[in-house]
Amino acid sequence: MTPARTTSRAPRARDIGLDVRAPKNKCDDRHCPFHGRLSVRGQILEGTVVSASMQRTAVVERTLLHFVPKFERYEKRRRRYLAHAPPCLDVPVGHRVRIAETRPLSKTVSFCIFADLGEAAHRVTGEDATPRTAPAAPAEESS
């Protein structure tokens, strides 16, 4: 007979079915795909966090270029998604993230952030974003 294990281990992060590593931080959020009971299915999108002022919810924005045939030019369009931000990821404003579709968590939230891809290439002008300083003008030569 094998003796019963008396040491209790902390629950490990569960496999969510996507090719992503589980976060190192633990959380007790029931809507966390890694530590809670939330399943992810459907679309997987990438975007930039533009606001994180709500409790455990972030605004993720995607920009795309749409071709206008009449003018033979592109116009910039954007789409904003409200996504659940688990506390174990702790994603700040201005970071690129991956979000996955879930069951509806509220009236407007049907996505969940599951991967932080790091800082975005372009700085987001939002609530916590610091304004960029303008480059110094070149000094004029006197003749």
Q: How many domains does the chain have?
A: 1
Residue 78: inside a domain = yes
Residue 108: inside a domain = yes
Residue 102: inside a domain = yes
Tell me what the mean pLDDT of segment 29-41 comes to. Answer: 84
Residue 86: inside a domain = yes
Q: Which of the pair, 111 or 19, is modelled with greater confidence?
A: 111
d(CA 101, CA 104): 9
d(CA 94, CA 122): 8
Question: Strand 40-54 vs strand 73-84: parallel, antiparallel, or unpaired?
Answer: unpaired
Residue 98: inside a domain = yes
pLDDT of residue 136: 60
pLDDT tens digit sequence for 63-93: 999 999 999 999 999 999 999 999 888 889 9
Query: Domain containing 114: what range?
Result: 40-119
pLDDT tens digit sequence for 100-119: 999 999 999 999 998 888 78
Residue 88: inside a domain = yes
Spell out the SS3 assignment of 40-55: EEEEEEEEEEEEEEEC
Residue 113: inside a domain = yes
CATH of residue 48: 2.40.50.1000
Amino acid 59 reads V
Kindly give the residue spans of alpha helices, DSSP state H, lying in 31-111. none
pLDDT tier, 8 (very low <50, low <70, confident <90, very high otherwise): very low
